[in-house]
Amino acid sequence: MPESRGRAELQRSIESIRVGARHRRDPGDLDQLKKSLERFGLLQPITITTDGFLICGFRRLEAARQLGWSNVRVWVRSGLSDELTLLLAERDDNLTHKPLTTYEAAQLYKEMVALLEEDAARRQEATQFSGPRDDGDTQDGAADSAAPFPRGHGDGRRRAAEMVTGSASYTRLNQILAMERAAADRDLSAGARQVAADELERIRNGGPVDPGYQRVRAVVEAAERRMDSPDIDVDAEADAKRARDDVDRLRRMRENRARRAAAAANAKRSVKSFAMVWREMDGWSKHYDAHQVATELSAEDWAMFNQVLEETTTFARTVEAERALAPA
């Protein structure tokens, strides 16, 4: 049984390979892939965990199954995190693990991207076994069963994001990984690395990703300018402080706007305004047909009408009581 770092190649029965919910999808047209398997065999083994859960090769597995094969070559991949193994085993009821935080998702996404890229590299290497066609091109079947992501690395990132989060969007996940790289980059100043570490800690505690990423990016860009042009006086720590100050200023502006909106919503209007509202309401019922309102008004709108009517009645009683106590 050939072995390599973290992997072992062997034969495995198709029925023993377990496909988690995140892999269940339409495999698409498998005709060319099945022709490839029949003509060249499985050039690139399917990748599974030590527990038999599928990692890479869903279409290859389905094509082999449709051809009636009982066994396939597999790479058994060890050394995966327990969280990623659990994710690959997840079932539709989602009872096997708690919802991931954005930071946790980024860590699993990084691990999944590495696995998909590893699989793609081996598939690319396997194309050396494809035979030439009459027109000088490579055989379609060999390319189908061995070629890596057909649309480049972005497709691998999308696949990884879909498997980890259920969404094809990977921007936030990549932003977290970029901040981790900045925090570990010894070419950056200690101050710049600390900014990245601080932002990562905020994200781990539930903070938003993009504002922290923008701060770290500003600090890193300032540090890079300093390295590229040492004669220019660029202070990365000062830039970091300015970035933090800008974000704090924006946060205060948003908080002030929210406070002003809340104050405006609760502000007391003038008696003149009150009188104008009710003058405009005078005779309002003559403009509506009671039967039409009864048959066409939604239950939600009728409940709102009754709520306003009750508020109005309560307010009227309060005003009557106040007027009775007021001096003549």
Range with lowest mean pLDDT among 30-34, 81-85, 245-249: 245-249
Residue 268 lies in a domain: no
- Per DSSP, the residues of 66-85 read HTT-SEEEEEEE----HHHH
Structural contact between residues 170 and 160, judged by C-beta atoms closer than 8 angstroms: yes
Considering the domain architecture, whether residues 145 and 197 belong to the same structural domain is answered as no
What is the per-residue pLDDT across 154-172, written as a single tens digit (0 to 9) for each?
Answer: 678 888 888 888 788 889 9
- Is 62 in the same domain as 189? no
Among 217, 242, 260, identify where a domain stops.
260
State whether 182 and 147 are in the same domain.
no
Query: 77-81, 96-100, 229-233, 294-298: which has the minimum mean pLDDT?
Result: 229-233
pLDDT score of 233 more than 80 = no
Residues 193 and 152 placed together within one structural domain of the fold: no
What's the CATH code of the domain at 45?
3.90.1530.10
Can you give the pLDDT at residue 28?
A: 81
Would the pLDDT of 320 be above 80? yes
pLDDT of residue 69 exceeding 90: yes
Predicted local distance difference test score (pLDDT) of residue 7? 60
Asked if 32 and 159 sit in the same domain, the reply is yes
CA distance 71 to 51: 17
Q: Which of 225, 260, 295 finishes a domain? A: 260
**105 in the same domain as 34:** yes
Q: Are residues 177 and 88 in the same domain?
A: no
Count of domains for the chain: 2
* Chain mean pLDDT for the chain: 78
Task: Please state the separation of Cα 267 from the chain's center in Å.
Answer: 40
Q: Is residue 145 part of a domain?
A: yes
143 plus 205 within the same structural domain:
no
Give the pLDDT score at 50.
Answer: 85
In this structure, the answer to whether residues 93 and 40 fall within a common structural domain is: yes
Q: Is residue 294 part of a domain?
A: no
- Ordered alpha helix ranges (H), 229-298: 236-266, 271-281, 290-296
Angle (CA) 248 253 254, round 5°: 100
d(CA 120, CA 155): 11
Average pLDDT of 69-83? 85
Q: Quote the pLDDT of residue 235.
A: 57
* Domain that residue 43 falls in: 3-131+139-169
Q: Does residue 178 share a domain with residue 153? A: no
Is 200 inside a domain boundary? yes
Same domain, 10 and 145: yes
Q: Same domain, yes or no, for 19 and 110?
A: yes
Q: Write the CB contacts of 30 (distance below 8 Å, at least 6 apart in sequence).
A: 59, 62, 63, 66
How many CA atoms does the CB half-sphere of 293 hold within 13 Å?
Answer: 10
Question: Which of 71-80, 82-91, 95-104, 133-142 is least confident?
Answer: 133-142
The pLDDT score that the predictor gives to residue 98 is 64
C-alpha separations of 98 from 71, 92, 94, 290 in Å: 34, 13, 8, 53
**pLDDT tens per residue across span 4-19:** 445 677 888 989 988 8
Considering the domain boundaries, does residue 276 fall inside one?
Answer: no
pLDDT digit string, tens, across residues 258-299: 787 777 777 777 888 888 888 888 888 888 999 998 988 888
Q: Which residue would you say has higher pLDDT here, 142 or 79? A: 79
Residue 308 lies in a domain: no
pLDDT in tens, 209-220: 998 898 888 888
Instruction: Tell whether 118 is covered by a domain.
Output: yes
Coil, helix or strand at residue 26: coil
> Taking Cα atoms as reference points, which of 155, 207, 201, 211 lies closest to residue 180?
201
Domain for residue 318, yes or no? no
Domain boundary among 243, 260, 277: 260
Spatial CA neighbour of 187 closest among 150, 227, 219:
227
CA separation (Å) from 113 to 5, 55, 100, 107, 159? 18, 11, 17, 10, 8
